[in-house]
C-alpha cells in the first residue's frame, strides 16, 4: 500500500511539473498590508490544455498510421486467371 501511495505522489508531481513547464498551470500571489494577509492562486489554462491534448492525440494517430503503413503488406496477392 505504501508503494502505491508513493507511486500516486510521484505521478502527481510529474503531472504538476509538466503542467507548469507547458504553461497549463500558473501560480500568483497577492498580499494585503492592511490586514496582513496573503493569498496564493492557482490558475488552470483550460484552452491551452485542450489544445495541447489535441496536438498530442493527432501526433500519436499520425505515428500509428505510419507504423500501420510500414507493417501492412506492400504487394498485392497474385490473381489466378
High-pLDDT (> 90) share of the chain, %? 67
Domain membership flag for residue 77: no
10 Å Cβ neighbour count for 24?
21
Domain membership flag for residue 80: no
- Per-residue confidence band for 75, with pLDDT thresholds at 50, 70 and 90: low
Domain membership flag for residue 14: no
In the chain, the number of structural domains is: 1
Tell me the average pLDDT of the chain: 88
Domain that holds residue 41: 19-70
Domain membership flag for residue 36: yes
Q: Does residue 72 carry a pLDDT above 80? A: no
Amino acid at each position: 500500500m505504501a508503494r502505491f501511495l508513493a507511486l500516486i505522489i510521484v505521478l502527481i508531481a510529474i503531472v504538476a511539473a509538466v503542467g507548469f513547464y507547458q504553461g497549463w498551470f500558473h501560480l500568483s500571489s497577492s498580499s494585503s498590508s492592511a490586514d496582513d494577509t496573503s493569498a496564493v492562486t492557482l490558475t488552470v489554462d483550460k484552452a491551452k490544455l485542450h489544445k495541447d491534448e489535441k496536438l498530442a492525440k493527432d501526433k500519436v494517430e499520425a505515428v500509428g498510421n505510419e507504423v500501420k503503413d510500414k507493417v501492412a503488406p506492400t504487394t498485392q496477392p497474385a490473381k489466378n486467371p
